[in-house]
Structure 1
Amino acid sequence: MYFGQCLCGQVSYRVKSEFVEIECCHCLTCRKAHSSAFAMGVTIDSADFELQTGQELLKEYESSTGKKRVFCGQCGSHLYAYRVAQPESVRLRPACLNIDMSSFKYSHIYTENCLRIHSE
């Protein structure tokens, strides 16, 4: 079981499922949504995600048709995303988990969207 929270600590949650690999998505939408080179995500069953505090602070943004990104309305931390047509799963943003993330495996997707720096 994992526990997580937003940056300001007002929204907290727990995850009952275990996972070993995190995907790092380099698509343009994820980069813009996270203001970063990539966004980390892991898909879990909705039944394994439990909001503990701060539900009233959550805000949603539909970044593409049917895909909602959920974040803390106070500090802006992006906590998870979901697809309206797939209510059985949640795309968790594991960077907000209160754990050491060094033990996970990482894979990178949509890397063709990355800026490449070539050294000579």
Structure 2
Amino acid sequence: MSKMASMFRPKKLDLSGFVNTRLIRDHNKRNAVEQTEPERQALRYLIRNTSLPQRVRAQAQLQLSQMHAYTRPTQIKNRCVASGTARAVFRDFRINRFQFRMQALAGELPGVKKASW
């Protein structure tokens, strides 16, 4: 079995809080991107290098296009770790606006307080 195929098999995850299939898929995508990023950078360098022969550049382009979709950085979507939703997620806290409001009002987010002036 290839190294790439073993990357996408189910594993024991250390995700805290709410877990659904979308969060598991996102976790797998983030790991795949992290592991294949040096290879993707090398291929992109070969493709852009105009001093190389056209055949080498074309082979690099073919190799890059045949890589698994989960290895693309554009596949990663910011998701709320508390609810799993992908809309209105604050990057700093990795939670959506509703969860942010609930946790802030409950005093669970350090350094965050309700504005009043």
| Structure of greater Rg | 2
TM-score (norm 1): 0.21
User: Between Structure 1 and Structure 2, which shows a larger proportion of helix residues?
Assistant: 2
TM-score (norm 2): 0.21
- Structure ranking higher in strand proportion: 1
